[in-house]
Structure 1
Amino acid sequence: MTTRILFVCLGNICRSPAAEGVARALAGGRDLRFDSAGTGDWHLGHPPHPPMQAAARARGYDLSRLRARQVTPADFDDFDLIIAMDADNLDAIEALRGGSDTPVRLLTDYAEGPEDHVPDPYFTGDFDGALALIERCTRGLLRDIAP
């Protein structure tokens, strides 16, 4: 049975599409499906932010086909696990929950270290640092859910 995972950040143009791209690349032959979304609607239909695409491409990830969308209550039915990039995203996702028991976690819950969120490179400018943390957390996620 396919495990379905949704990554969520603020605008779905930096962190969550990067996590989707990294997870797809690192998942290998595991029976997993990934998607990403944002809590806001500012960038609907747009590709990932060009500096994030460039940083991802330099690490071997192609994000060019991804397009931003907004997280919806239906995502609780469509996914087995929803992963937020920070506490504000987690709170926004939880506000949509309704009666669903789909788990919502922070990506940094899977990090081996003290991180409590993935900093937003749209504001910090540190796309490489965000990607390095996303890679580390995604490896931990994949070890945890599909060893």
Structure 2
Amino acid sequence: MTDPDRPGATPTHRTPLPPPRTGGRYRIAVVCLGNICRSPIGQVVLTEHVDRAGLSDRVEVVSAGTGGWHVGHPMDRRAATVLTAHGYDASQHRATQFEATWFDEHDLVLAMDGSNHADLTDVAPGGDVSRLRMFRDFDPRADDGDRDVPDPYFGDEDGFGSVLATVERTAAALVAALEAELGRG
């Protein structure tokens, strides 16, 4: 599949959504390293897009980190600032650590980068990663060498704005895939 907005774009790595596990809500977990920057931005933005699409009664979005250093902490102030500046509510987030049982509890697990993907693969029960995808697998601008959402933690505020732009674009495409899978709200 190519990005129709980019002439000459290379095929993306987008794959179909895993089917829902049950008749309940479709559960999505967005995962990064510490759950204070990228994955909470992903959770907040994706939740807002789900709400706008009228899917909030059928889709739930959570986030977590592969590491436990920040468990219980709010998101990084720079992540909260960029979200707030763009009209999102960043006030409710508290960092959580991903646990292997989440694979059985979620329909889709989205890794923010290759390192997170490898960490999640390592803890997948029985090695079953059929519900694991890269977040940018749904980004119409992702290509073979560009599937990571860059970690802005050690950079300046501009990195958080760039992450937000990537997440917003990807969330819109992901919600379109959810609408196709689950039907419109």
State whether structure 2 residue 138 is matched by structure 1 residue 110.
Answer: yes
- Aligned counterpart, 2:30: 7
Gaps of 5+ in 2: 1-23, 181-185
State whether structure 2 residue 167 is matched by structure 1 residue 134.
Answer: yes
Amino acid at match of 2:115: D
Larger radius of gyration: 2
Q: TM-score of the superposition, structure 2-length normalised?
A: 0.76
CA distance in 1, matches of 2:123, 2:175: 26
Amino acid at match of 1:13: I
Amino acid at match of 1:146: E
RMSD after superposition: 1.2
CA distance in 2, matches of 1:145, 1:86: 21
User: Could you tell me how far 1:123 is from its partner in structure 2?
Assistant: 2.0
Decide which moves more: 99-108 or 69-78. 99-108
- Aligned counterpart, 1:80: 107
CA distance in 1, matches of 2:63, 2:129: 19
Once the two structures are superposed, residues 63-98 of structure 1 have per-residue CA deviations (whole angstroms, 9 ceiling, x without a partner) of 211110110011011100000000000000111101
Once the two structures are superposed, residues 9-63 of structure 1 have per-residue CA deviations (whole angstroms, 9 ceiling, x without a partner) of 0100000001000011111221100100001111010000001000001111112
CA distance in 2, matches of 1:142, 1:102: 20
State whether structure 2 residue 73 is matched by structure 1 residue 46.
Answer: yes
Amino acid at match of 2:140: E
Percentage identity across paired residues of the two chains = 37
Q: TM-score of the superposition, structure 1-length normalised?
A: 0.95
Secondary structure of the structure 2 residue equivalent to 1:13: coil
Amino acid at match of 2:68: D
CA distance in 2, matches of 1:112, 1:77: 28
